[in-house]
Amino acid sequence: MIFLKLFLVFSKIGIVNFGGGYAMLSLIQDEVVRKQGWVSSSEFTDMVAVSQMTPGPLGINIATYVGYTSVINEGYPPLLAILGSLLATLSVLWLPFILMIAISRYLLRHKDSPVVRSIFSGLRPAIVGLVAAAALVLMNAENFGAPREALVQFVASVMLFALAFVASYRFKTNPLLLLALAGGFGMIFYSFVPA
């Protein structure tokens, strides 16, 4: 049954997640697109885009959208899909919440301990790897286009990505300005070149 699977999958994702929503993206994508087949790669890309614009943590927003969409895709009515979204959202939260309550006292008392510092030093590279995996998940045909199908769109997307990366990393350009410029470029570019 889809509801039990949602609970188990998102509980597992919640307990192994370190590093926030972007670190969670590759785990969610692997489970819901590749392993379970609940949503397509295109639907997942759209969910990530909407989750980034929606207030709240990215990983929780995606869990909510996946819960709803997967239940709809299984043929259930929208009322049960709302239950699916609530179940996925709570499933991704309940184990980390209990774990943080359980270990917070220990961490506060022993935050300067060499063991605790070593654990956090080991988690940092893993979190960077998970965020990098999330970036790779989003570098797909839905976001960049396919070179064999739309070469002009692919080249424009790669160039825009490279320019935004350089502007952000090297020149510390405001992300809101980058979004506005990229949106303006897309509006002009795709008015002349069909998507």
pLDDT digits (tens, 9 = 90+) for 97-137: 898 888 888 888 888 888 888 888 888 888 888 778 877 87
Residue 73 sits in the same domain as residue 160: no
% of the chain residues with pLDDT over 70 = 98
Residues 30-50: pLDDT tens digits? 999 999 999 998 899 899 889
- pLDDT exceeds cutoff 80 at 23: no
* Residue-range definition of the domain harbouring residue 175: 145-192
What is the average pLDDT across 54-68? 92
Shared domain for 105 and 14, answered yes or no, is yes
Instruction: Tell me, yes or no, whether 47 and 89 share the same domain.
Output: yes
Residue 17 domain-assigned (yes or no):
yes
In this structure, the answer to whether residues 104 and 149 fall within a common structural domain is: no
Same domain? For 16 and 72 the reply is: yes
Instruction: Count other C-beta atoms under 10 Å from residue 129's C-beta.
Output: 13
Residue by residue, DSSP assigns 115-159 as: HHHHHHHHHHHHHHHHHHHHHHHH-SHHHH--TTT-HHHHHHHHH
Q: How many domains does the chain have?
A: 2
User: Does residue 128 lie in a domain region?
Assistant: no
At residue 66, the pLDDT reads 95
Query: What was the pLDDT predicted at 18?
Result: 67
Predicted confidence (pLDDT) per residue in 134-191, tens digit: 778 777 777 777 788 888 888 888 888 899 999 999 999 998 899 899 889 888 988 8
Phi-psi region of 194 (alpha: psi -120 to 50; beta: other; left: phi over 0): beta
The answer to whether the predicted template modeling score (pTM) of the entire model surpasses 0.75 is no
pLDDT level of residue 19 (50, 70, 90 thresholds): low
User: Residue 162 is encoded by which pair of tokens?
Assistant: 């490279």
Mean pLDDT of the chain: 88
